[in-house]
Amino acid sequence: MGILRRLLWVLAVLWWVPAGAQTGVTDAGSALDTATARLRSVPREVVLDGVVEAVKQSTVSAQISGRIEQINFDVDDYVPRGAVLLRFRDKEERARLEQAQATLNEARARFNQAQADYERIKNIYAKKLVSKSELDKATAQLKSARARLESAQARVKEAREQLDHTVVRAPYSGIVVKRFVEVGETASAGQPLMTGLSLEQLRAVVSVPQEYVDAVRRAGKARVFEASPDLGDIPTGKLTIFPYADPDTHTFRVRIELPDVPRGLYPGMMIKAAFDVGQRKRLLVPRQAVTHRSEVTAVYVVDAKGRVHFRQVRAGRNVAPDLTEVLAGLQAGEKVALDPIRAGVVLKQQWAEAGTLHE
């Protein structure tokens, strides 16, 4: 270890440790609360990049051909479910519906008259007062009137649907992301009008290399977090693993549901996804034992004689809310102080007693 780094450690500790130390504390570290660094099995994770996408994203297209008279929403506008996005000119559709309705009223009147005539002749025929041919004629007229009524009803239904298609409504609540038409423009059937997506339901999409996909299937879960893990994990739900690999990249597409969407997360953003692919041994210490002094990450080690040593370590991720990985700088079985502040005081007292600075 270089002299310059040793001096940096010393200055960092002296800057932080409170003054007022007393002498005669050679084994004062024995009174500190400590924990033993232990090797434990922890999940082995592979961290991959992913992209957030909306579960509900669709493009609304025209169902009829016509001129657009009104557009109520634009890009970045929030649209409630069922709200009117735009309207087509509907003069011809209304006229067609009125004509179809008039035809239906006439057909219904004829059907009612034909039904009444049939019932009258059927009763007379039962009394042997008319011939069978008269009853057959009334039956045929009733059948014809029923057919005309059903045809008129179908034309009214079709005309009403065409009129309904002049009003385009939002299929779900969301935000408009694209608009393809302007007021006054004539759109044809099938032409895209608007594209929108919902921010209420998001998911992460990750490409998993084929070497990990079997382990991912077995585990059936993943951790998702933004660029910095310190921001905490994003709650996840069901995993959906596509049953085939991309022939070019040899990766499997995995979708991860995000049931509780955090504020500030939008489709298209990059995230990190950590998948459990097995177990591995890692050296763990209580999270509270790890301290940060300037740019140095360290723990206070208490040896068998009760003396305290300030030890630089390389910390990994937080395995649990109260445990941290130590990747380098510490050995299994060594004891670390749980209260870095008290340990720093003891260390300074040791230096004062010795009359010199050392680890």
CA–CA dist 315, 56 (Å, integer): 41
Give residue for tokens 């008039």. Answer: 102
Which domains are delineated in the chain?
A: 3-41+280-354 (2.40.420.20), 47-56+199-279 (2.40.30.170), 58-88+167-197 (2.40.50.100)
Give residue for tokens 């893990």. Answer: 229
265-302 pLDDT, tens digit each: 889 999 999 998 877 888 888 988 898 888 889 989 98
Q: Tell me how far CA of residue 346 lies from CA of 88, 284, 290, 305, in angstroms.
A: 81, 24, 17, 13
Q: What is the pLDDT of residue 319?
A: 76
Which residues does the chain have with pLDDT short of 50?
1, 3-4, 7-25, 357-359
Q: What is the pLDDT of residue 164?
A: 95
CA–CA dist 55, 238 (Å, integer): 13
Strand pairing class (34-36; 57-61) = unpaired
b or e along 168-181 (b: 16 or more beta carbons within 10 Å of the residue's beta carbon)?
Answer: bebebbbbbbebeb
Given a contact cutoff of 8 angstroms between Cβ atoms, the answer to whether 266 and 203 are in contact is no
For the sheet with 167-169, list strands across it.
Answer: 167-169, 84-88, 66-71, 186-187
Given a contact cutoff of 8 angstroms between Cβ atoms, the answer to whether 39 and 332 are in contact is yes
Give residue for tokens 């735009």. Answer: 86
Taking alpha carbons only, the member of 20, 156, 48, 43 closest to residue 99 is 156
Q: What is the pLDDT of residue 184?
A: 93
User: Cβ of 310: how many Cβ atoms within 10 Å?
Assistant: 22
The token pair that represents 299 in the structure block: 């723990």
> What radius of gyration do the chain's Cα atoms show?
39
DSSP letters of 94-146? HHHHHHHHHHHHHHHHHHHHHHHHHHHHHHHHHTT-S-HHHHHHHHHHHHHHH
- Please return the burial class of 61, using the count of CB atoms within 10 Å of its CB with bins 0-12, 13-18 and 19+: middle
Q: What is the pLDDT of residue 125?
A: 87
For helices 3-16 and 340-354, the axis angle rounded to 10 degrees is 110
CA–CA dist 125, 318 (Å, integer): 95
The token pair that represents 221 in the structure block: 């879960």
